[in-house]
Structure 1
Amino acid sequence: MNERSSPTLIPDTARAGEAAILNAALEAFGDKGFYGASMRDVARGAKTSLSNLYNYFPSKSDLLAAVLRMANDELLNRIQQAVRGAGRRQADRLSAAVRAHVGFVVDHQVASLVALSEIRYLTGAARKRVVAARDSTQGIYEELVAAGATAGEFRTPYPDDAARNIVSMVSAISTWYRPGGRLSAEELGNQHARFALALLEATPG
């Protein structure tokens, strides 16, 4: 954990008791995985009692689902804001989305890694809600790529596959990023935006 960026995702000022629990759950899932972490680990990390923890979240699956929903909400908000401020060219908007996404992964590496590796343990309605939220983020990339292809900015004959691969490429940063590495967060964002445009066979502009 010490070699990763901070696990904190939810500000402590927002519903303080719940925020402490969710941040402790995120840290526990990041350290031990969903099956390795226990509700007692979370309660200890949140400095609360086990009975109080169950008042907020009846099960470990509920905790994981809440953490993943909040992570995706923050990611979606960052990407939407970046795209809105990026002008009219789809290449610029796509690049802004990638930079914002990279920034989220760097700022919330543990949450990104948990989202990537632990969603498989969710089932039923909880999984459907998390997957739907994740798909809304994926949908932004698909819309940008489709619009760019229609406008002639992107020449790839595989726009749907390209959009999925861009998301996978950025998400995978969580598995290897280390603070203080060769590239700053900004440089990493610029690099991956360039990778994305190359994958899309973007026309110069």
Structure 2
Amino acid sequence: MNARSTVSLVGDTGRGNEAAILNAALEAFGAKGFHGASMRDVARGAGTSLSNLYNYFPSKSRLLAEVLRHANDELVTRLHVAVDEAGDDAAPRMREAVRAYVRFVVDHQLAMVVSTNEVRYLAGEDRERLVVDRDATQAVFEDIVAQGAASGEFRTPHPADAARTVLSALAGVAQWYRPDGRLSRGQLAEQQARYALALLESPLAR
């Protein structure tokens, strides 16, 4: 896989080498996929023993779930900070939410690719928790679109579909973005924000 995260997904958690394990798991899942990566691969990448790895995570599924939870938690945090700082109007809030999402994708591209490609291997409680987390991410955009549609800032006659389309486009950036591409991090964020506002039929897209 060519995509690489530019920033470690998990910082120091205060729990020994848990952060090293989660970052190693991300690299292993990104390189080999969920089925191809082994717990031994993760332990080796984290510089720890296999028995110590199992002290932290009892299964590979739980390890994947925790990696994806950390990714979604940081994404949601960035979105809320960006939206809160954007003021009260829907269009600026959408612009900043999209920018924050794109910056997260650039910083943690590998995490986004793993989240898209490997989530199907989660089941039961692990999957249910992730669905709740992803619903929180989706709600940020749905709430802004609903606000803009009600106020007249967004003229699309299909606000619910438009919100889903914006999210799908943003998630797709991780599949094609390349650090050596023609657009800088900021330019890419601005481009996607303009696309989103155009889709919502906002005058600010012009």
Name the structure 2 match of 1:153.
Answer: 153
Report the identity percentage: 62
* Separation (CA, whole Å) in 2 of partners of 1:21 and 1:5: 16
Name the structure 1 match of 2:6.
Answer: 6
- What is the correspondence of 1:129-140 to structure 2 with a 5 Å cutoff? 129-140=129-140
Give the C-alpha shift of residue 180 in structure 1.
2.2
Matched, 1:96 2:113: no
SS at structure 1 position matched to 2:172:
helix
Name the structure 2 match of 1:199.
Answer: 199
- What is the correspondence of 1:59-138 to structure 2 with a 5 Å cutoff? 59-138=59-138
Per-residue displacement from partner, 1:125-182 (whole Å, max 9, x unpaired)? Answer: 1100011101100001000000000000111111111111111101111111111210
Give the C-alpha shift of residue 204 in structure 1.
4.1
Indicate conservation of the 8 Å contact 1:3/1:179, yes or no: no
Counterpart residue identity of residue 105, structure 1: V
Indicate conservation of the 8 Å contact 1:5/1:106, yes or no: yes
* Separation (CA, whole Å) in 1 of partners of 2:165 and 2:14: 35
Displaced runs of 4+ in structure 1, greater than 6 A? Answer: none
Give the C-alpha shift of residue 15 in structure 1.
2.6
Q: TM-score, normalised by structure 2?
A: 0.96
* Separation (CA, whole Å) in 1 of partners of 2:133 and 2:21: 22
Name the structure 2 match of 1:41.
Answer: 41
Unpaired segments ≥5 residues, structure 1: none
SS at structure 2 position matched to 1:137:
helix
Summarize the Cα distance change of 1:177–1:204 in structure 2 as closer, same or farther, 3 Å threshold: closer
Q: CA RMSD in A?
A: 1.4
* Separation (CA, whole Å) in 2 of partners of 1:180 and 1:81: 28
* Separation (CA, whole Å) in 2 of partners of 1:38 and 1:163: 37
Counterpart residue identity of residue 198, structure 2: A
- What is the correspondence of 1:155-194 to structure 2 with a 5 Å cutoff? 155-194=155-194
Indicate conservation of the 8 Å contact 2:3/2:110, yes or no: no
* Separation (CA, whole Å) in 2 of partners of 1:65 and 1:3: 20
Unpaired segments ≥5 residues, structure 2: none
Indicate conservation of the 8 Å contact 1:7/1:111, yes or no: no
Indicate conservation of the 8 Å contact 2:40/2:50, yes or no: yes
* Separation (CA, whole Å) in 2 of partners of 1:187 and 1:204: 17
SS at structure 2 position matched to 1:6:
coil
Per-residue displacement from partner, 1:33-87 (whole Å, max 9, x unpaired)? Answer: 1111110100000011111100100000000000000000000000000000001
